[in-house]
Structure 1
């Protein structure tokens, strides 16, 4: 929308387009990682694995071997190797107490190594065996003999996995110590953490020469590397927040909100330790290769940095422009401290080079997601008369001054360009869905999730276009409740004024319009045409209008039992049905529904009621279902499967 004499372009530096790292052996990266990570560039971790996870990040899932989460959000087991004791903490805010009271103490443990728990089962790993306990340590279930065991994990059922020192293969046992086989993982390094998850999934934390790796697999499934995000999605994290040589800390819910409680390795309370400051490197730099604009004597315009800079960190950008790629160290232009958007104040040139410097306090790092380079310089000063641009110094000031307003207008242009995305139900946030529904005249039930609301918004144009039709009603119910109903139009249930040839199937039916040939003469009173003793007297209406008043403009919605909330379904039907119709909702009950909750086979018979026999050992009481003799149409046959009836999902025997 902004008027400019020439179209401007830009060059992005990010993980999708590329960061233009120097080629060959030219040094350009020092202490910065994340060039292939969409999250952005950041300072490297200290240690042998600068880009991988660190041990502190994985503590909530792989705690210290002396700790094991127990029952409840605050239940923990603490192994005290020096004192050879096992402690337990049951509730939030409580202290660690011995698992075994003095009268039931099994004696000092024998060189304990680690502890594991799952539900009410407990496993303690010693130097040459694994003790398995039930009922939270009250009953010893078995002893597993193994060579140099280090880690144990309790799986579902009676399965126990044991990892030994120096490898990544797992041995499977039952609680009594019975050997079930070896689970070969193929992961490099040594196991330093072992967990089991849903669907018998096994998670490993390995250490391969200082590089930590996460692997997932299971019995019958090969192990493969996994990420921290996959681990967090599969297993809920524990309350463990930190662990060091002096003790550990747990994040819990207190009476006034979240709070941190810290303990020593003997289970005694202690003050929280200061946060670690040696997680990341404290400085790093990155130098791009020569970025070619493709324009001789190009006037580079603007540099914009999309970054997240926490307190105690900094991100600085320097640029240099040249026509032939040669420059001096004094030619670099540095951005102001904390600036993420600045103009290029360099002579015209075809090539630009950028240098990024990151710094931090060791405990956190800045993250640079994207850098945008705008060129060539196009401002509203180009629209001014030449008299305003005669003085080079004044011209430079005018361009820089007007670029401030151009930047604001450019942001407005971007907002206007992105306006159609606000009407995309798949792209707006969940909080904006009711607002978008208000524009379309839709109303949401409180219980509908975001997925259902997005599907309704996406289908709204077609639902409005075909509103009032059976298709639109079925589609709305399918989107909201996930089941396709049957729309039964009652007007089709009665064949008013049709000749009998259509029922015999020997020819096309012949309609007679509004002429009444047969119908309710047996149930409605007609003078001279109805037996007085066989029909009730009704004092309203005329029988001639029955074809229009009894079933016309009425429909019924049929759904399986338990498939939808009937009250919410009725409200939806009222909103979607045509105004001149009356709809009703019927869901399946607990009766015998063929094809839904029953099986029809060779041993299933549909037969009429037995003929009543008066007298005898078991006399029959006459009731409404008693038949003394056949009617005028002959003996009743009942339901004959495959003869004159079709048994399916809509056939109900009650």
Structure 2
């Protein structure tokens, strides 16, 4: 850093620069983008804690059932079940139905109406909540089990980072090498064959997510993907469930035998109550530099506080009495220290153990530069008056700087990739865009970024297709109907009797055509006294188009509203999603709603010709459908009736 005519700022909170590691006490998060915070007590100071993860990774002896209040509990050599909120625990199998298969079960899992239990090197799989034993998997040192979709089971062994996937019959399907560090102590399965793992290594808990390749995840991502259970506490003496009752949430506690017990004393907290750290000597680069201002950016919940102290020195030496300490909660103050080259900052965080302040950054402004520098020298002759004037004008300088900063950042508000999610509707309003409630932030940003190009091509098929692709992630087919109506006119010089006829088949009846002398029956045809009747087949569908979509496109109503907003005002569009087949004569689109399927089996008797009746399967048999380019010449081997 060097002294310059304008303010130079030094931004702290970097995991590799500035901190004196010897002074860090009960504070973590220097390498965390979320900020510096108080540590968790115990062997995992940076978290997450085991109590925090219990709703998603319960004790292996517990497993939530398919109903809201259903739970399974391993007690001795039995499996206990609980079906109602605040109900009693009872054996899963009555005494006369107990299979007596379990010896010393250690883990239980449930998904839907299936149950899995790990017991003495074996894994038992049941259906119908224990009524039907479907498989017994023999695996030495089996420790954790989880049930996945398709009636599959995931099993991990003690001390291994591999997961074995078994089918419903107990056969090994695959072995997944997770590559995670530490011991796997919890497995959960989510939608889309996603696997969540909880590992422990030297007391540090970590969450991983993946299928065949795993990456480290966070508690927030876990909570967004999987709903939590009602388990809120578990220790060597028992566990507690917090469930909804008629008068609000009710906490029920049980021992590991399923017997009710009193709620344990509240935990001391998930954070330590006090922590601090200090910086090394921060070099301004100039001798006797006048440090100007300290600004603290922190999130301070109720019951917590952040306190900052500074000291300035010329040679790096200072006494304990030289510290300038400000009251807790002050986040913006001027440096009231003698000039010096070096500055040292000390930060103390405190809380009530239930929450922690989060320190995002500390900003130091130097050298001192205020509006007083622009005043005549007569205003700065008296040192006491000069100091007062300088501090007084700093109040206005701070306000002016905030306004300047807003003006400087105003162009960034028009960048869809940089504004917060909450500002996207405001930015869209400037462009005349309207969002649907179900669109996520990524879709909204892409639509705003593409808006200038879409407006330049608005009303064209390519612009409408691009808008649909951005919002719904599908590539539509834009079908303009007006250009496809020439089939109704054989030739421009057609005679009145053949203008709307093809051979001996009449395509338009007399009653639907316009009045023509000597050809239309009076009273049977509408009387229209404008235009040319020969152009009716063309103008009937003018300015009409249709949006064709693949099967499975979600929210057709929202798509129709988007089409209405993007289409020209003089046009009318419709939306059609693919179904299970196609209807000849109503515009079948290959790739959207056309399927080549085998012919029905031949049937003799009770068959109406020309109505799905096949008397002869063909030279290659009834098992084959239509083969493009082999036996599918339209009009030769294919007849449309």
Q: 1:526 to 1:397 in 2, by over 3 A?
A: same
Shift of 1:345: 0.7
Matched, 1:57 2:55: no
Are the equivalent residues in 2 in contact too, given 1:85–1:108 (CA < 8 A)? Answer: no
Shift of 1:184: 5.7
Equivalent residue in structure 1 for 2:300, among 300, 309, 317: 309
Equivalent residue in structure 2 for 1:539, among 527, 531, 534: 527
Q: Aligned with 2:392: secondary structure? A: helix
Which residue does 2:624 correspond to in 1? none
Matched, 1:559 2:537: no
Which residue does 1:503 correspond to in 2? none
Shift of 1:44: 2.9
- Residue by residue over 1:400-451, the C-alpha shift from the partner in whole angstroms, topping out at 9 and shown as x without a partner, is 2232233233333333333334444444455544444443334445565555
Shift of 1:63: 1.3
Which residue does 2:392 correspond to in 1? 401
Structure 1: gaps (5+ residues): 501-515, 605-617, 622-640
Matched, 1:488 2:480: yes
Q: State the TM-score, normalized to the length of structure 1.
A: 0.75
Q: Aligned with 1:113: secondary structure? A: strand
Matched, 1:389 2:380: yes
Which residue does 1:114 correspond to in 2? 107
Q: State the TM-score, normalized to the length of structure 2.
A: 0.76
Query: Which has the higher mean CA deviation after the structures are superposed, 27-36 or 172-181?
Result: 172-181
Matched, 1:91 2:89: no
Which residue does 1:591 correspond to in 2? 583
After TM superposition, list the pairs within 5 Å mapping 1:164-313 onto structure 2.
164-165=157-158, 167-168=160-161, 189-198=182-191, 200-215=193-208, 221=212, 227-229=218-220, 231-232=222-223, 234-255=225-246, 258=249, 260-270=251-261, 272-277=263-268, 279-313=270-304
Are the equivalent residues in 1 in contact too, given 2:567–2:573 (CA < 8 A)? Answer: no
Matched, 1:439 2:430: yes
CA distance in 1: counterparts of 2:277 and 2:164, whole angstroms: 47
- Residue by residue over 1:36-85, the C-alpha shift from the partner in whole angstroms, topping out at 9 and shown as x without a partner, is 1111112333334433532222222221122112213332112233xx44
Q: 1:582 to 1:38 in 2, by over 3 A?
A: closer
Shift of 1:550: 2.9
Which residue does 1:512 correspond to in 2? none
Q: 1:352 to 1:153 in 2, by over 3 A?
A: same
Are the equivalent residues in 1 in contact too, given 2:515–2:528 (CA < 8 A)? Answer: no
Q: Aligned with 1:30: secondary structure? A: coil
CA distance in 2: counterparts of 1:455 and 1:155, whole angstroms: 35
Equivalent residue in structure 2 for 1:354, among 326, 330, 345: 345
Query: Which has the higher mean CA deviation after the structures are superposed, 312-321 or 138-147?
Result: 138-147
After TM superposition, list the pairs within 5 Å mapping 1:617-636 onto structure 2.
none
Are the equivalent residues in 1 in contact too, given 2:515–2:526 (CA < 8 A)? Answer: yes
Shift of 1:368: 1.2
Which residue does 1:80 correspond to in 2? 75
Q: 1:419 to 1:166 in 2, by over 3 A?
A: closer
Are the equivalent residues in 2 in contact too, given 1:496–1:547 (CA < 8 A)? Answer: no
Shift of 1:372: 1.0
Which residue does 1:378 correspond to in 2? 369
Matched, 1:12 2:21: no
Query: Which has the higher mean CA deviation after the structures are superposed, 346-355 or 428-437?
Result: 428-437
CA distance in 2: counterparts of 1:454 and 1:151, whole angstroms: 42
Query: Which has the higher mean CA deviation after the structures are superposed, 458-467 or 62-71?
Result: 458-467
Equivalent residue in structure 2 for 1:412, among 391, 399, 403: 403
Shift of 1:19: 4.4
Shift of 1:266: 3.4
Matched, 1:43 2:38: yes
After TM superposition, list the pairs within 5 Å mapping 1:507-586 onto structure 2.
522=499, 539-542=527-530, 544=532, 547=535, 550=539, 554-560=543-549, 572-579=562-569, 581-585=570-574
Query: Which has the higher mean CA deviation after the structures are superposed, 284-293 or 339-348?
Result: 284-293
CA distance in 1: counterparts of 2:346 and 2:528, whole angstroms: 93
CA distance in 1: counterparts of 2:291 and 2:234, whole angstroms: 51
Are the equivalent residues in 2 in contact too, given 1:496–1:519 (CA < 8 A)? Answer: no
CA distance in 2: counterparts of 1:99 and 1:28, whole angstroms: 56
Which residue does 1:341 correspond to in 2? 332
Which residue does 1:463 correspond to in 2? 454
Query: Which has the higher mean CA deviation after the structures are superposed, 31-40 or 421-430?
Result: 421-430
Structure 2: gaps (5+ residues): 501-513, 600-605, 610-627
Larger Rg: 1
CA distance in 2: counterparts of 1:216 and 1:439, whole angstroms: 40
Query: Which has the higher mean CA deviation after the structures are superposed, 362-371 or 204-213?
Result: 204-213
Q: 1:239 to 1:414 in 2, by over 3 A?
A: farther
Equivalent residue in structure 2 for 1:27, among 18, 22, 32: 22
Q: 1:305 to 1:273 in 2, by over 3 A?
A: farther
- Residue by residue over 1:471-491, the C-alpha shift from the partner in whole angstroms, topping out at 9 and shown as x without a partner, is 444444444554433252626
Report the RMSD for the aligned CA atoms in angstroms. Answer: 4.4
Q: Aligned with 1:397: secondary structure? A: helix
- Residue by residue over 1:72-100, the C-alpha shift from the partner in whole angstroms, topping out at 9 and shown as x without a partner, is 3332112233xx44322223444433323
Are the equivalent residues in 2 in contact too, given 1:525–1:535 (CA < 8 A)? Answer: no
CA distance in 1: counterparts of 2:162 and 2:391, whole angstroms: 66
Are the equivalent residues in 2 in contact too, given 1:207–1:213 (CA < 8 A)? Answer: yes
CA distance in 1: counterparts of 2:273 and 2:442, whole angstroms: 44
Q: 1:369 to 1:140 in 2, by over 3 A?
A: same
Q: Aligned with 2:22: secondary structure? A: coil
Q: 1:469 to 1:343 in 2, by over 3 A?
A: same
Q: 1:578 to 1:653 in 2, by over 3 A?
A: farther
Equivalent residue in structure 1 for 2:323, among 300, 308, 332: 332
Which residue does 1:71 correspond to in 2? 66
- Residue by residue over 1:524-571, the C-alpha shift from the partner in whole angstroms, topping out at 9 and shown as x without a partner, is 6666xx767899865322555865993696332342476586665565
